[in-house]
């Protein structure tokens, strides 16, 4: 069991509530701002070798962690620390938006509106929906929901519980970089290697915890969730 400082625990809880009530920030989302900074740094520092990718990760993830450390140091008193943790938690979580997209996809499939479901699927995962039937879209959506539940809910909360605001911001930086450059492609095979491997490490425990939680709640989905979150 992780013994959380009371301000950290309260901040995490308030952040979860804020995400449930408000969803993602609608304008000037800090994660989008981080993505823009990462893209700008890539344009300046890209090279087709692993060392350049390692430097990319160190600068960006290190900067996010340092920002978290600075925010905690500036927050004096338990109320301020709770507020800072709550805001950081709200910013990095994506559970409410994810649930809305999943529910909308399910509703379209229930209505047999395959065209609408195919149009929505790319918002959840990177698969080409044009060749998928209703069952294939449902399977892709379920697997993506499982994977993103780990990435957008379980993992940030776990890292926030372990390391506070630096853990929250650092994890979101890692996961965002993996989504941006952690692909097996000609451009990112080497440059994205560090991002992909660091994301694997950061998600190893959260992915298995997510699978265990879903298994406890819905045993019938255990196999699909395990494959989606731990592959």
Residue 107 corresponds to which tokens in the numbers above?
């509703």
Q: What are the tens digits of pLDDT across the range 79-114?
A: 999 999 999 999 999 888 888 888 899 899 999 888
Confidence check: pLDDT of 190 > 90: yes
* Pick from 225, 218, 185, 179: nearest CA to 198: 179
User: Mean pLDDT, to the nearest integer, of 177-181?
Assistant: 95
Task: Give the other-Cβ count within 10 Å of 58's Cβ.
Answer: 12
Residue 157 corresponds to which tokens in the numbers above?
């909360």
Q: Do residues 172 and 92 touch, judged by C-beta distance below 8 A?
A: yes
What is the residue-averaged pLDDT of the chain? 89
Q: Do residues 150 and 207 touch, judged by C-beta distance below 8 A?
A: yes
Q: Radius of gyration of the chain from Cα atoms?
A: 18
Q: What are the tens digits of pLDDT across the range 14-47?
A: 999 999 998 887 778 899 999 999 999 999 999 9
| Residue 164 to residues 1, 34, 77, Cα–Cα distance (Å) | 16, 19, 15
124 or 42: which carries more pLDDT confidence? 42
CA angle 96, 112, 105 (to 5 degrees): 15
pLDDT level of residue 13 (50, 70, 90 thresholds): very high
């Amino acid at each position: 069991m992780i013994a959380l400082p009371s301000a950290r625990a309260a901040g995490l809880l308030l952040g979860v509530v804020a995400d449930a009530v408000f969803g993602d920030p609608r304008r000037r989302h800090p994660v989008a701002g981080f993505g823009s900074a990462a893209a700008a740094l890539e344009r300046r520092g890209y090279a087709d070798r692993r060392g350049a990718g390692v430097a990319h990760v160190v600068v960006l993830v290190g900067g996010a962690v340092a920002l978290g450390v600075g925010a905690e140091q500036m927050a004096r008193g338990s109320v301020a620390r709770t507020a800072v943790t709550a805001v950081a938690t709200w910013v990095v979580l994506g559970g409410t938006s994810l649930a809305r997209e999943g529910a909308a996809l399910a509703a379209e499939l229930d209505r047999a509106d395959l065209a609408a479901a195919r149009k929505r699927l790319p918002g959840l995962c990177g698969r080409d929906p044009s060749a998928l039937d209703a069952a294939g879209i449902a399977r892709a959506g379920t697997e993506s929901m499982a994977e993103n539940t780990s990435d957008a809910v379980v993992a940030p909360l776990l890292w926030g519980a372990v390391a506070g605001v630096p853990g929250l911001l650092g994890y979101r930086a890692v996961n965002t970089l993996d989504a941006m450059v952690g692909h097996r492609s000609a451009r990112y095979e080497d440059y994205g290697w560090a991002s992909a491997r660091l994301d694997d490490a950061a998600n190893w425990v959260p992915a298995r915890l997510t699978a265990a939680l879903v298994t406890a709640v819905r045993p019938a989905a255990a196999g699909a969730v395990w494959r989606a979150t731990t592959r």
